[in-house]
């Protein structure tokens, strides 16, 4: 009698364990099952994860792709560039969204970048800064920015230029590891961890901190710095023009910051230096380059019409040559 | 008949199984974090990383001291603010306040406890940081942006108020009326009675409340991250920016997982946090046991 009961319970435990096991294994992301069905239609799943900078546009693209290929399902999540790359390398997702350059360690492991758009990181100050007009007229050189953000040689504004106020410079940087900060750091020849200053979480956070403080300096992504509706810098913020040729003033060819279309045109034509302009990238596995479904989606994203979305969302489309180069990446083995 | 007995057994074994699962999860967390931190520990000397203060992982400098001290600073500041306030508040609620006030304040405290941390963080950015910068710092003749361990401490202090007050009130209410009456009848004033009877009797409970508060404060992430400045330096004053361990993990995890050493360093930070909280709770548990035995 008793023995029998024990048998039952053991049986039950085994069942419960197997149920747990099934749930666990089931929760793992499904492996990409990409194929073309008999009538030549695309079928399958594309899962995407990664940088917040690319997330909104990736969703737009996926919806348009679904309209053309109703049998394709998308699964998109955001969580940072590093997570996107990790997920791609461990086969959890098909495409990682990345908003910085890949590190060599990541390429060595088989991550393969395909650039799909550009944007830029822009130096920002408060629009009520006492020397606002002067900064707009003379700009800051790369070296001056290095001495503000990296070496901390300049503690006060008047040490940069004697015409500025004798007040301390309040430097703000991103606290979270982010493509924007990494790109800004690259422009200054260092890594994000070398940027000095108060760390604020997130792009909106840094914008808010600079809006609150007249003597502050920081950096933002284009689409946080400019108002996408008015095409002008958001109220309270102003752009720091970069004095590219070090002549102590902003010449006409360096002056493209007043409206969003002007700035994106300058980024597209590489008149704004890169970095801080940067490529936004899809990362796939090296061996997935001939996968029919992924290839179809990435080629679709590189088409003119899809690239056209970018401008109104504060990104910069790739130019013709760049699109040709990226398309080649998919075909060559 | 047999079905009923079977059900009985089912409940017994089922609950046992769930209990074991629960304990296993904690063990698995510790094991997983340790395994993940091994690459770092193999490459670096443990004492070296705990005592060095240079943090630039991409160049191979893993100094955790600024983060450990940042955590300590923020937590200690929050205790300096919260503990005296909460002790006095709970004394007032138990000894002086009318029943109606007590009955309305305690539920309010529970509401405070339910507010999500991110709201405290926003409140910190909108109110605490500007007030520190514009009004408090000038009093001390300091120039600060306001993003500092002090701001983190204030936000944390407000966050641990509810847990401290509700436990302290519970404890104070258990002090026997006879003892208080005896003290008062010997001619002691109300305040003398509170110091020599209430507080002495409630000491273990108050310590237990502080322990719970500290456990919560050490692990609090987003609210502190938003106001503490996140500069990896050792804070030298209340107005310096600091960088607690949970903020380090939250800031870098999503972005840096694909770089093996960096990933390992973050996992080590998580393990460090785990060990600190676990050890702190263990020691305070032992202290409490001794206090209760003697009390």
- The DSSP line for A273-289 is -TTTEEEEEEEEEGGGT
Nearest chain A residue to B130 by CA distance is A212
pLDDT above 90 covers what percent of chain B? 40
Cα(B256)–Cα(A90) distance, rounded to whole angstroms?
Answer: 15
Assign A24 a pLDDT band (cuts: 50, 70, 90). Answer: low
Instruction: List the one residue out of A226, A223, A250 whose CA is nearest residue A237.
Output: A226
Instruction: List the one residue out of B199, B205, B177 whose CA is nearest residue B88.
Output: B199
pLDDT tops 50 at residue A89:
yes
Assign A12 a pLDDT band (cuts: 50, 70, 90). Answer: low
DSSP-derived 3-state class of residue A72: strand
From the CA of B50, how many Å to the nearest CA of chain A? 19
**Mean pLDDT over the full length of chain B:** 89
Cα(A74)–Cα(B245) distance, rounded to whole angstroms?
Answer: 36
DSSP A241: -
pLDDT tops 90 at residue B16:
yes
Q: What is the pLDDT of residue A31?
A: 44
Omega cis (within 30) before A275:
yes
Cα(B70)–Cα(B65) distance, rounded to whole angstroms?
Answer: 8
pLDDT tops 90 at residue A23:
no
Token pair of A260, please?
Answer: 């969003």
Tell which of B17, B39, B130, B145 to mutate to test the A interface (max A CBs under 10 Å). Answer: B145
Assign B21 a pLDDT band (cuts: 50, 70, 90). Answer: very high
pLDDT higher for B18 or B232?
A: B18
Instruction: List the one residue out of A85, A115, A114, A97 whose CA is nearest residue A51.
Output: A97
pLDDT tops 70 at residue A54:
yes
| Cβ(A132)–Cβ(A124) below 8 Å | no
Instruction: List the one residue out of B70, B93, B228, B222 whose CA is nearest residue B161.
Output: B93
How many CB atoms neighbour CB B13 within 10 A? Answer: 17
Interface of A with B (CB under 8 A): 5, 8-9, 12-13, 16, 79-83, 85-86, 89, 103, 105-106, 111, 168, 170, 175-179, 191, 193-194, 196-201, 205, 208, 212-213
Assign A22 a pLDDT band (cuts: 50, 70, 90). Answer: low
Per-residue DSSP letters for chain B? -HHHHHHHHHHHHHHHHHHHHHHHHHHHHHHHHHHHHHHHHHHS-HHHHHH---EEGGGTEE--HHHHHHHHHHHHHHHHHHHHHHHHHHHIIIIIS-HHHHHHHHHHHHHHHHS-HHHHHHHIIIIIHHHIIIIIHHHTT----S-SHHHHHHHHHHHHHHHHHHHHHHHHHTS-HHHHHHHHHTT--HHHHIIIIIHHHHHHHHHHHHHHHHHHHHH--HHHHHHSB---S---STTS-B--HHHHHHHHHHHHTTSHHHHHHHHHHHHHHHHHHHHHHHHHHHHHHHHHHH-
Assign A21 a pLDDT band (cuts: 50, 70, 90). Answer: low
Assign B23 a pLDDT band (cuts: 50, 70, 90). Answer: very high
Assign A187 a pLDDT band (cuts: 50, 70, 90). Answer: very high
Token pair of A300, please?
Answer: 């679709």
Long-range contacts of A158-161 (CB under 8 A, 24+ apart): A161/A134
| Cβ(A118)–Cβ(A279) below 8 Å | yes
Q: What is the pLDDT of residue A38?
A: 63
Taking only the tens place, the pLDDT of each residue in B144-191 is 888 999 999 999 999 999 989 988 998 898 889 999 999 999 998 989
Q: What is the mean pLDDT of residues A224-246?
A: 87
pTM: 0.79
Integer angstrom CA distances of residue A331 from A292, A296, A299: 11, 11, 10
Cα(B214)–Cα(B156) distance, rounded to whole angstroms?
Answer: 10
Instruction: List the one residue out of B143, B129, B150, B177 whose CA is nearest residue B238.
Output: B150
H-run or E-run covering A130: none
Taking only the tens place, the pLDDT of each residue in A108-152 is 888 899 999 988 899 999 999 998 888 888 889 999 999 999 988
Task: Report residue A3: phi and psi, to 5°.
Answer: -55, -40
Question: Which member of B59, B130, B231 has the closest CB to residue A199?
Answer: B231
Q: What is the mean pLDDT of residues A285-314?
A: 84
Q: What is the pLDDT of residue A11?
A: 60
Q: What is the pLDDT of residue A185?
A: 92
pLDDT tops 70 at residue A7:
no
pLDDT tops 60 at residue B50:
yes
Task: Tell the residue number behind the tokens 């047999």, with chain if given.
Answer: B2
Taking only the tens place, the pLDDT of each residue in A243-297 is 888 888 888 888 888 888 888 888 888 888 888 888 889 999 888 887 888 888 9
- Contact across the interface for A83 and B231, Cβ inside 8 Å: no
pLDDT tops 60 at residue A155:
yes
Q: What is the pLDDT of residue A292?
A: 84
- Contact across the interface for A83 and B257, Cβ inside 8 Å: yes
pLDDT higher for A86 or A30?
A: A86
- Check residue B37 and give left, alpha or beta (phi > 0: left; psi -120 to 50: alpha): alpha
Cα(A110)–Cα(A91) distance, rounded to whole angstroms?
Answer: 11
Question: Which member of A79, A103, A105 has the closest CB to residue B254?
Answer: A79
Cα(B247)–Cα(B223) distance, rounded to whole angstroms?
Answer: 9
Residues of B in contact with A178 (CB under 8 A): 255
Token pair of A245, please?
Answer: 């040729």
Cα(A268)–Cα(A256) distance, rounded to whole angstroms?
Answer: 12
Residues of A in contact with B143 (CB under 8 A): 168
Question: Which member of B125, B251, B258 has the closest CB to residue A176?
Answer: B251
DSSP A192: G
Q: What is the pLDDT of residue A30?
A: 43
The radius of gyration computed from the CA coordinates of chain A, to the nearest angstrom, equals 24
Q: What is the mean pLDDT of residues A27-53?
A: 70
Q: What is the pLDDT of residue B145?
A: 83
Cα(B217)–Cα(B210) distance, rounded to whole angstroms?
Answer: 10
Task: Tell the residue number behind the tokens 């060595």, with chain if given.
Answer: A108
Tell which of B254, B260, B264 to mutate to test the A interface (max A CBs under 10 Å). Answer: B254
Burial of B141 (0-12, 13-18, 19+ CB in 10 A): exposed
- Chain A / chain B CB contacts < 8 angstroms: 100
Nearest chain B residue to A181 by CA distance is B255
Assign A34 a pLDDT band (cuts: 50, 70, 90). Answer: very low
Q: What is the pLDDT of residue A123?
A: 92
């Amino acid at each position: 009698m008793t023995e029998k009961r024990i048998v039952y319970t053991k049986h039950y435990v085994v069942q419960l364990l197997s149920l747990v096991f099934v749930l666990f294994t089931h929760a793992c992301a499904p492996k990409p099952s990409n194929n073309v069905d008999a009538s030549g239609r695309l079928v399958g799943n594309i899962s995407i994860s990664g940088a917040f900078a690319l997330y909104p546009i990736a969703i737009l693209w996926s919806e348009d792709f679904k309209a053309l290929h109703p049998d394709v399902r998308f699964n998109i999540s955001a969580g940072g560039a590093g997570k996107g790359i990790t997920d791609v390398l461990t086969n959890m997702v098909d495409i990682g969204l990345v908003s910085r350059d890949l590190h060599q360690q990541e390429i060595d492991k088989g991550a393969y970048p395909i650039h799909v758009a550009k944007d830029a990181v822009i130096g920002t100050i408060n629009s009520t800064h006492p020397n606002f007009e002067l900064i707009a007229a003379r700009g800051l050189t790369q070296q001056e920015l290095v001495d503000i953000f990296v070496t901390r040689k300049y503690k006060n504004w008047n040490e940069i230029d004697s015409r500025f106020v004798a007040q301390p410079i309040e430097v703000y940087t991103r606290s979270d590891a982010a493509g924007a900060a990494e790109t800004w750091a690259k422009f200054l020849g260092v890594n994000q961890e070398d940027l000095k200053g108060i760390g604020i979480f997130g792009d909106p956070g840094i914008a808010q901190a600079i809006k609150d403080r007249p003597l502050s300096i920081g950096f933002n992504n284009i689409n946080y710095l400019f108002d996408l509706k008015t095409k002008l810098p958001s109220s309270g913020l102003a752009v720091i023009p970069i004095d590219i040729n070090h002549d102590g003033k902003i010449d006409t060819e360096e002056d493209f910051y007043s409206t969003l279309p002007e700035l994106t045109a300058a980024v597209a034509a590489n008149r704004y230096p890169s970095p801080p302009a940067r490529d936004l990238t899809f990362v796939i596995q090296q061996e997935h380059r001939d996968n029919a479904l992924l290839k179809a989606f990435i080629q679709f994203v590189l088409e003119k019409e899809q690239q056209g979305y970018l401008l109104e969302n504060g990104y910069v489309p790739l130019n013709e040559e760049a699109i040709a180069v990226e398309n080649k990446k998919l075909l060559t083995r | 008949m047999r079905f009923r007995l079977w059900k009985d057994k089912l409940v017994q074994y089922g609950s046992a199984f769930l209990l074991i699962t629960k304990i296993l999860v904690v063990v698995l967390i510790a094991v997983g974090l340790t395994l993940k931190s091994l690459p770092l520990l193999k490459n670096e000397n443990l004492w070296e990383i705990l005592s060095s203060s240079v943090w630039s992982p991409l160049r191979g400098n893993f100094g955790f001291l600024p983060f450990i001290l940042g955590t300590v600073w923020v937590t200690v500041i929050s205790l300096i603010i919260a503990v005296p306030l909460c002790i006095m508040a709970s004394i007032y609620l138990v000894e002086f306040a009318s029943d109606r006030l007590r009955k309305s304040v305690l539920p309010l405290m529970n509401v405070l406890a339910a507010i999500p941390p991110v709201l405290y963080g926003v409140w910190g950015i909108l109110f605490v940081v500007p007030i520190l910068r514009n009004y408090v710092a000038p009093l001390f003749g300091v120039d600060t942006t306001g993003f500092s361990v002090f701001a983190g401490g204030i936000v944390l202090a407000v966050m641990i108020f509810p847990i401290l007050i509700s436990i302290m009130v519970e404890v104070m209410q258990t002090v026997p009326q006879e003892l208080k009456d005896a003290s008062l009848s010997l001619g002691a004033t109300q305040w003398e009675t509170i110091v020599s009877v209430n507080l002495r009797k409630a000491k273990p409970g108050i310590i237990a409340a502080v322990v719970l508060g500290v456990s919560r404060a050490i692990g609090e992430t987003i609210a502190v991250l938003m106001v503490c400045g996140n500069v990896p330096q050792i804070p030298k004053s209340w107005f310096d920016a600091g960088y607690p361990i949970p903020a380090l993990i939250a800031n870098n995890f999503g972005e840096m997982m694909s770089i093996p050493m960096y990933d390992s360093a973050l996992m080590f930070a998580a393990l460090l946090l785990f060990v600190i909280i676990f050890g702190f709770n263990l020691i305070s548990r032992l202290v409490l046991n001794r206090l209760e035995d003697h009390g």
